[in-house]
Chain A
Amino acid sequence: MAMHKISVTINGAVREAEVESRLLLVHLIREVFRMTGTHVGCDTSHCGACTVHLDGEPVKSCTVLAVQADGAKITTVEGLEQGGKLHAVQEGFTEKHGLQCGFCTPGMLMTTSALLVRNKNPSEQEIREAICGNLCRCTGYVNIVKAVQYAAEKMR
Chain B
Amino acid sequence: MSEPRTDAKICGMGHSMKRKEDPRFIRGQGRYIDDHVLPGMLYMDIVRSPHAHARIKKIDTSKALKIPGVLAVIDGPTLAKYNLHWMPTLSSDTQMVLPIDEVMYQAQEVCAVIATERYIAADAVDAVEVDYEPLPVMVDPHKSLAPGAAILRKDKKDKKDNLAFHWEAGDKADAERALAASDVKVSEDIYLPRIHVASMETCGCIADFDTAQGKLTVYMTTQAPHAVRTVLALVAGHVGLSEEKIRIVSPDIGGGFGGKVPVYPGYVVAIAASVVIGKPVKWIEDRMENLQADSFARDYHMKVELGAKKDGTMTSLKIRTVADHGYTNASANPSKFPAGLFSICTGSYDLKHAFCEVDAAYTHKPPGGVAYRCSFRVTEAAHAIERATDALAQKLNMDPAELRMKNFIKPEQFPYKSVLGWEYDSGNYGVALKKAMDIIGYDALRREQAEKRKKGELMGIGISSFTEVVGAGPSRDFDILGIKMFDSAEIRVHPTGKAIARFGTKSQGQGHETTYAQIVAEELGIPAAHVQVEEGDTDTAPYGLGTYASRSTPTSGAACALAARKIRDKARKLAAHLLEVSENDLEWEPGKFSVKGAPQKSKTIQECAFAAYTNHPQGMEAGLEAVHYYDPPNLTFPFGSYICVVDIDRGTGDVKVRRFVAVDDCGNIINPMIVDGQIHGGLTQGIGPALYEEISYDDEGNISGGSFLDYYVPTSLETPKWETDKTTTPSPHHPFGAKGVGESATVGAPPAIANAVVDALRHLGVTHLDIPITPEKVWTILKNKGVAE
Chain B CB within 8 A of A138 CB: yes
- A97 vs B514: C-alpha distance when bound (angstroms): 12
Q: A94-B26, A106-B28, A135-B713 are in contact. Are A142 and B287 (CB under 8 A)?
A: no
Binds B, one of A2-10, A53-61, A75-83: A75-83
Q: A94-B18, A139-B677, A142-B722 are in contact. Are A101 and B200 (CB under 8 A)?
A: yes
Which of B200, B509, B707, B721 has the most chain A CB atoms closer than 10 A to its own CB?
Answer: B200
CB <8 Å contact, B26 and A131: no
CB <8 Å contact, A44 and B707: yes
- A22 vs B126: C-alpha distance when bound (angstroms): 16
Chain A CB within 8 A of B689 CB: no
- Give the nearest-CB partner of A92 in chain B: B26
- A100 vs B681: C-alpha distance when bound (angstroms): 9
- A144 vs B717: C-alpha distance when bound (angstroms): 13
CB <8 Å contact, B200 and A95: no
Chain A CB within 8 A of B685 CB: yes
**Which B residues touch A71, using CB under 8 A?**
none
* Chain A binding surface, main DSSP class: loop
CB <8 Å contact, B119 and A139: no
Q: A101-B199, A137-B257, A141-B719 are in contact. Are A31 and B28 (CB under 8 A)?
A: no
Q: Give the contact-size bracket for chain B.
A: 35 or more
CB <8 Å contact, B200 and A49: yes
CB <8 Å contact, A101 and B118: no
Chain B CB within 8 A of A36 CB: yes
Q: A76-B28, A105-B26, A140-B684 are in contact. Are A100 and B677 (CB under 8 A)?
A: yes
Q: How many cross-chain pairs have Cβ atoms below 8 Å apart between A and B?
A: 173
CB <8 Å contact, B200 and A137: yes
From residue 180 to 232 of chain B, which have CB atoms closer than 8 A to chain A? 197-202
**Which A residues touch B21, using CB under 8 A?**
102
CB <8 Å contact, B200 and A139: no
* Chain B binding surface, main DSSP class: loop
- A109 vs B200: C-alpha distance when bound (angstroms): 15
CB <8 Å contact, B200 and A136: yes
**Which B residues touch A129, using CB under 8 A?**
716-717
Chain B CB within 8 A of A114 CB: no
CB <8 Å contact, B511 and A137: no
- Give the nearest-CB partner of A96 in chain B: B673
- Closest Cβ–Cβ distance, residue B256 to chain A (whole Å): 8
CB <8 Å contact, A43 and B677: no
Chain A CB within 8 A of B3 CB: no
Q: Looking at the complex, which one of A27, A77, A106 makes contact with B118 (CB distance below 8 Å)?
A: A27
From residue 663 to 700 of chain B, which have CB atoms closer than 8 A to chain A? 673-674, 676-677, 680-685
Q: A94-B18, A97-B19, A142-B722 are in contact. Are A137 and B27 (CB under 8 A)?
A: no
CB <8 Å contact, A93 and B722: no
By a beta-carbon cutoff of 8 Å, the part of chain B in contact with chain A is 18-19, 21-32, 34-35, 37, 118-119, 197-202, 252-255, 257, 286-288, 508-511, 673-674, 676-677, 680-685, 707-709, 713, 715-717, 719, 721-722
By a beta-carbon cutoff of 8 Å, the part of chain A in contact with chain B is 20, 22-23, 27, 30-31, 34-44, 46-47, 49, 76-78, 80-81, 86, 90, 93-95, 97, 99-106, 109, 124, 127-129, 131-145
7 A–B contacts, CB within 8 A, in A order: A37-B27, A39-B32, A39-B201, A100-B510, A132-B716, A137-B197, A138-B509
